[in-house]
Amino acid sequence: MFKNGKSLIKKNPIHFKDVMATLRDITGAAYPETFNNQKVKPMQGESFLPILLGEEFKRQKPLFFEFARGGAIRDGKWKLVSKSLSKKKVTTNAIEWELYNIDKDLTETEDLSQQFPEKVKQLSQAWQQWYISSYGITKSK
């Protein structure tokens, strides 16, 4: 998992949901489109088999998280975090976000949301789309 003394995971983190995609990649198994005549949601993870083989791995899609009363999106060096979510806040765009540059601030101590409002807007919209599609809720106007 190390190349030239640097962790390949540091720049391209992996998540639990990537395990299924990796096992599918290793085994060659097909991911089902339906089960018991019900449509199966597409797999969200990405295979990290290249890391296991000591090769370069570049995540193609952002990582989306939901935890307790919070949520986050990690896209490259950027991580957008909210620590106070509710369904109402998600559907009405009333979420307070913090933005971090993980390459320079791995411990998330310097909130950059005021310096990069367009990045906050871009990432928060992507997170909201993921959340709404994951839970099948309708966004308020």
**What does pTM read for this prediction?**
0.75
Domain range for 82 is 63-135
100 in the same domain as 78: yes
Q: How far is CA 103 from CA 11, 33, 60, 74, 79, in A?
A: 8, 37, 18, 12, 10
Which CATH number characterizes residue 109's domain? 3.30.1120.10
Give the per-residue pLDDT at 68: 80
Same domain, 128 and 71: yes
Domains contained in the chain, number: 2
Boundary of a domain, candidates 11, 30, 52:
52
Handedness of CA 127, 131, 134, 137 (dihedral sign): negative
> How many angstroms separate the first and last alpha carbons of the chain?
46
Identify the pLDDT of residue 70: 85
Tell me whether residue 36 is in a domain. Answer: yes
- Are 57 and 51 in contact by the 8 Å Cβ rule? The answer is yes
Residues 42 and 70 in one domain: no
- DSSP element (H, E) containing 27: helix 18-27
> Cα–Cα distance between 78 and 12 in angstroms, integer?
11
pLDDT of residue 9: 54
Decide if 57 is inside a domain. Answer: no
Residues counted in the chain? 141
Q: Confirm whether 141 is domain-assigned.
A: no
- Do residues 131 and 67 share a domain? yes
Query: Is the same domain home to 69 and 111?
Result: yes
36 with 69, same domain: the answer is no
The answer as to whether 125 is a domain residue is: yes
| Cα 42 from Cα 21, distance rounded (Å) | 11
Residue 140 belongs to some domain of the structure = no
Torsion region of 101: left, alpha or beta (phi above 0 gives left; psi -120 to 50 gives alpha)? beta
Residues 40 and 101 in one domain: no
Residue-wise pLDDT tens for the chain (141 aa)?
Answer: 445 435 555 567 888 889 999 999 999 999 998 999 988 888 888 999 998 888 888 888 899 988 888 889 999 899 999 987 766 566 666 688 999 999 999 899 999 999 999 999 999 999 988 888 877 776 555
Whole-number pLDDT of residue 5: 38
68 and 130 co-located in one domain: yes
